[in-house]
Amino acid sequence: MAGDLPFRKPSLDVIQGDTLGPMFCKVAASATVTYLVPGKLVSMLTNAGEIDIAGTADVSFNVGIIGYEGTPLAYKPATRDTAYAVGDHVAVHNTPGMRFRGWLINSSAVNWGTELIHLAADSSGNFASYADGGTTVQGVRARALETVAANTGTVAVPCWMQWIG
């Protein structure tokens, strides 16, 4: 049973175990909404309470994972793979130890327990293996909870992770 995971992956949710509950932030007018789907790493902007996708800017503003199930119904997208829109009020989760369905950059293969980081060169809120970071490492943020083969396409792939912060 090497393929069995020690937790049950939900079919609709993105976050498990956020015991503190989410912060509620607003998608900024200048946000890159193309990548702003649940499970992506987001950054706080200079206007209080406004977020954008974690990009190549100062990573000290990276605050957490944009959620799905905690978002108010008026702003919740149709599915967990649908992007949010400018002005939406969204749930942002960052409780250490929580599990979440995050996204890996294409061509990043990970195994159970691989430490994951956000690369300085990534502008779409994805994670990559810590080993891939070299000198551009922006701090360990998560740990892989499943094995995912390298994707040869151009689209990020989902992977269940544990938030380290």
pTM (predicted TM-score): 0.86
**pLDDT in the model for residue 1:** 38
Last residue of a domain, one of 93, 118, 142: 93
Contact status, residue 126 vs residue 118, Cβ threshold 8 Å: yes
Give the chain's largest Cα–Cα span.
Answer: 49
Whether residue 125 lies inside any domain: the answer is yes
Q: Do 82 and 143 share a structural domain?
A: no
Beta-sheet strand order (sheet of 115-117)? 15-16, 99-104, 157-163, 140-144, 115-117, 128-129
**pLDDT in the model for residue 73:** 94
Whether residue 80 lies inside any domain: the answer is yes
pLDDT along the chain (165 residues), means of 10: 63 83 93 91 87 74 89 93 95 93 84 87 84 58 88 82 88
Distance CA 119, CA 24 (A): 25
Whether residue 37 lies inside any domain: the answer is yes
User: What is the domain range of residue 50?
Assistant: 15-93
**pLDDT in the model for residue 58:** 59
**pLDDT in the model for residue 67:** 94
